[in-house]
Structure 1
């Protein structure tokens, strides 16, 4: 029986930063998806991973990401990447979250973030409003581990007081869904909101779309 619905933030509740990455690449004459390729090299120890665990500060990330990207052929300051992270709230996902809450499910936000970004702060009222709706929020920059490390999901379950097999988890990255599924969670990969909400409706048996 499902008792909890766990949500990624950027790329699920918010529009994906990958769109902003692609716009940046096009504007600067870079290969498509180059930024994502930098983040997949040494994914557990690269600049992005260190920043999300709060092992380095944004200034150190700026330098380290530039070094890593230069080694792959194109230098990009890390500060440029941080400026691309803010997305906009998807109204259909916020409405679905409201419906899940109204139906009595436990909710948690599981986000890989950095200390300086808006997903962990109250700089944006629209983001703060959505964050306040969750029963629990697990932020990589605060707990010191990040998706897809299994401990991150264990922390979420401990906070929510549930077992993994009582959870549904939505994320836009397959690499983040794989360990959750291995632990026993039902998982939904989110691209466009519509198909993802159809899947969630099937699992929960409640209407989530107008």
Structure 2
């Protein structure tokens, strides 16, 4: 089936992955390596991260619950100290690739996010700001976990995007920096691309779409 849509994750795709910031913070406070990722991977459907991304707890609740969970796993870290680490550095070549895809295909974004992420301590729906505010208007449709009440890797969120774009899963390319989120997309029939680095991603996206993406290292 011919490609009709390219669907993107946001964090770790357009801005760099927060995992680097997690590692720096862990080193700075003497926490075990990958401790934050371990907390996030434990009880992934019901932990503080999952509840916050579905907007089932507020910022204060995330702060307290993440502290409780991290303490139980051996090293206390407040949720409030983790939130500022999420934002990465924008990847200009990925933004340009999105713009090129938009000229030929429908484009959508599925993001696991937090309502109050861009305004720590202020709970309630916030308008996208900064990098997110510049990129989000480029998409034909955006699904945010904090507003939809469902988050990746739940297959329903991918199906919701296909319905919104009026495309079959087999006619979609899906990009995400997490393999666990690529798996359900692939199982639905999408061409899934795990984002490891910019060069690899654009090479695979070019193969899937037939588009030619400029290789400009200086722009990365």
TM over 0.5: yes
> Aligned Cα RMSD in Å?
1.2
- Corresponding residue of 2:116: 116
Q: C-alpha separation between the residues in 2 aligned to 1:205 and 1:123?
A: 32
- The reply on whether 1:34 has 2:40 as its aligned counterpart is no
Q: Aligned to 2:152, which of 134, 142, 147?
A: 147
Unaligned stretches of 5+ residues in structure 2: 120-125, 216-220
Q: How does 1:40-51 map to 2 (within 5 A)?
A: 40-51=41-52
Task: Name segments (4+ residues, structure 1) moved above 6 Å.
Answer: none
Q: C-alpha separation between the residues in 2 aligned to 1:145 and 1:14?
A: 22
DSSP 3-state at the match of 1:132: helix
Q: C-alpha separation between the residues in 2 aligned to 1:161 and 1:58?
A: 35
Paired positions, count? 208
Render the CA deviation track for 1:146-195: whole Å, top value 9, x for unaligned.
00001111111111111111100000000001111000000000011110
Q: How does 1:42-81 map to 2 (within 5 A)?
A: 42-81=43-82
CA offset at residue 88 of structure 1? 2.1
- Corresponding residue of 1:8: 9
- Corresponding residue of 1:176: 181
- Corresponding residue of 1:105: 105
Q: C-alpha separation between the residues in 2 aligned to 1:69 and 1:34?
A: 8
CA offset at residue 87 of structure 1? 1.3
* TM-score of the pair, normalised by structure 2: 0.92
Contact 1:188 1:199 in 2 (8 A): yes
CA offset at residue 209 of structure 1? 2.2
Unaligned stretches of 5+ residues in structure 1: none
